[in-house]
Amino acid sequence: MAERKGFFRRIGAFLEGLRRFLVNAVFLLLLVLLLFALFASGPELPERFALELDIDGLVVDQLSPVDPLSELVQGETVAETRLQDLIDSIDRAVMDKRVALLVLSLDDLEHIGMSKSSELAVALERFKATGRPVLARAAAYDQDAYLLASSADEVFLDPMGGVVIEGFSVYRNYYRDALEKLAIDFHLFRVGEFKSAMEPFVRNSMSEEARAANEEWLGQLWGNYRQNVASNRSLEREQLDHYVNRIDEVMASYKGNLARAALEEKLVDRLVTENQWGALMRDNVGIDEDGDYYRVGHRQYLALTEALDAANTNAVGVLVAQGVIADGEVVGDGIGGDSFSELIRKARKNDAIKAVVLRIDSGGGSAFASEQIRQELRLLKQSGKPLVVSMGSSAASGGYWIAADADEIWATPATITGSIGIFGAFPTINRSLAKLGIATDGIGTTEVAGGLRVDRPLNPVVKRALQSGIEHGYQQFLSVVAEGRDMLPEQVDKIAQGRVWTGEDARQLGLVDQLGSLEDAIQSAANLAGLTQYRRQWVSPTLPPLQALVNHLLEQTGLSARVAVPGWWSPVSGLVRDFLQMRDPNGMYAYCTECSAP
C-alpha cells in the first residue's frame, strides 16, 4: 500500500511539474512574440495612410491589467479599447499631414455607450475641421455602433448587413414568487422613494416609483440619441422613429433586405463588400507592398508617435475610478477602498502633480469604502491641489459619494448620476430548511445573540437596528452631498431618494457644475492650479513586474488588451457577483443597478 501511495505521489509531482513547465513555456513564448512584434514593427510611418480606429470589445476609461497566466486558465476573453487612446490618436492625427483620412472600424465593437460616444465625437469633429474625411465601416451596425458611425462623413455597410436600432430599456427578472416557493425570506432595508436596487427580490414587478423615474431618464437619453443621429445624418426625427418603430413595414417595403432599407432610408451612404472597400481605400491612399492599402491602427500609431506634452514638467494627475466600489484591495477592474486610497496618496505626494482629475465610471458599491476614498480625497484637497471630477458613463450612488467634495464636477449630457440612497439586505432560509426537515435551536447569552444567522428568523431587535443604521447612512450621504455642493441637507433630500438623473438634469439640479469631456475637466483643473503648460499623468496601480512588462509590451506593439470573462456570465450572476465583490463590513451599500448606461 505504501509503495502504491508513493507511486501516485510521484505521478502527481510529475504532472504538477509538467503543468508548471507548460505554463511557463507558453508565457515565455508569448513574451518572445511580443518582443519580436515590438522590434519588427519598425519606426517608420507611410507618407500617406489611413488611420484606423480599430475599436475592439468594450470601450473603457482604463484597461484591465493583462495576466496571461489567468487567461490560459479562464479561456474566454473580451477585448478592451481605451477611450483616451482613441482621442489621443485623433488629436495627433490633426497635426499629422501624413494621415489622409480616419476610418472608424466597428465590426468588433461590443459597447461604448452614449457618454463615451459623445466624447469621441467631439474629437472626430476636430479632425473633420482639417478638411480630411472620417469614414465608418462595419458589416452590420447595432444602435451603439451606429450612433458613433453617424458622426462620420460617410457610413459604409456590407450588402449582407443592416442597421438595427431598438431604443433603450430597463427590464429585470423579479424573484419574489420564486423565493416564496423556495421559502427564502429576503429582508430589505432602504431609504429613498426611488431606491429600487433590490426590488427584484421583494416584488414581482417594477414599482410605480421606479417606473416613473426610469421612464424619465430613459426618455431623455433616447431623445438625445434621436437628436444626435438625425442631426448627423440630416434626417427628420420622425423618419428615424418610423424606421425604428415600424421596422416590419420598412423591411416589407424592401422585400426583407435590411441593408437596402438602411441605404434608401439614408442611414448609410454606400453598400460595399470587403473587396470593394479595399479597392476604394487603395484609390484613396495607395497600395503597399502586400497589395493592401496603406493603413495604421491607432494603437500602433500611438506607439510610433510622440505625445505633444511629454516635455512639460508640471502635470495634471488623472485617476480612474472604474467598476464596483469594494472594501479592501481590488486588483483589476473595480475600486478598492484601500487600493484606491493608496493611488490618491500617490498623487498627493507627487510634487510634479499640481492638480488632480478623478475620472469616475461607477454605479457605486460599498458605503464604507466610498467614505474611505472620500476622506483620502479631502486630504488631497487640503494639500492645496485642486480636485476636479469627470463623470463618464455613470457616477451614481457610491460613485457620486466620492465625487461630491470636488472643486468642480463635469459630466456629459448622457452620464447617469445621482441615485443618492442607501440600502441593505439580509436573506433568511429557516423556512426553506424546515421543508427539508432541518431545524435550528440553541441558546444565547443576550436577546440578539445569533440574530444574524441565515438559518433563523431575523431577530426583530436586529431588524430595527439594521433599519436604523440604514437611515443613519442615508442622512450621512445627504450631509456629504450638502457639504460638498454647498446645499442644505433638505435641498439634497428633495433630489435624492435614490433617484437616477442624467448629466443634463444633474447640472440643472446643482449636482454637476459643467457639461463636457474628460479633456475639458483636465483643462479646468490646470486652470485652477494656474498652469499654462502641463502634461497629463495617469496615476495607475503598481503591477507585479512580469505583468507590468506584458502590459507595456502590448502598448508598444499596438496590440489590444483583453480581459477574461467567466463563461457563466449572465445579468443575474453579474448582479450577485457585484454584491459579493462589494463586501461592505457594515452591510450598507450605495449602489445603482440601473447604471449599466446605454
Which positions are annotated as active-site residues?
A: 195, 397
3-state DSSP of 396-419: ECHHHHCCCCCCEEEECCCCEEEC
Q: How many CB atoms lie within 10 A of CB 219?
A: 13
- Of 365, 321, 324, residue with least CA distance to 590: 365
Q: In what order do the strands lie in the sheet with 49-54?
A: 270-271, 154-157, 134-138, 99-105, 49-54, 295-297
End-to-end CA distance of the chain: 64
Is the distance from CB of 176 to CB of 203 less than 8 angstroms? yes
What's the rounded Cα separation, in Å, for the pair 567 and 158?
31
Q: How many CB atoms lie within 10 A of CB 165?
A: 20
What's the rounded Cα separation, in Å, for the pair 300 and 544?
25
Amino acid at 192: G
Q: What is the DSSP-derived secondary structure letter of residue 99?
A: E
Is the distance from CB of 578 to CB of 366 less than 8 angstroms? no
What's the rounded Cα separation, in Å, for the pair 355 and 497?
33
3-state DSSP of 447-496: CCCCCCCCCCCCCHHHHHHHHHHHHHHHHHHHHHHHHHHCCCHHHHHHHC
What's the rounded Cα separation, in Å, for the pair 586 and 372?
13
3-state DSSP assignment of residue 156: strand
CA dist list (Å): 259 to 134, 139, 270: 21, 10, 10
Residues forming beta bridges with residue 319, ordered by sequence position? 358
What's the rounded Cα separation, in Å, for the pair 323 and 80?
14
DSSP string covering 415-439:
-EEE---EEEEEEE-HHHHHHTT--
Cell (9 digits) for 572: 443575474
3-state DSSP assignment of residue 248: helix
Is the distance from CB of 416 to CB of 497 less than 8 angstroms? no
Q: What is the DSSP-derived secondary structure letter of residue 353?
A: E
Is the distance from CB of 217 to CB of 416 less than 8 angstroms? yes
- Of 597, 534, 197, residue with least CA distance to 362: 597
Burial track 21-55 (b if 16+ CB lie within 10 A, e otherwise): eeeeeeeeebeeebeebbeeeeeebbeebbbbbbb
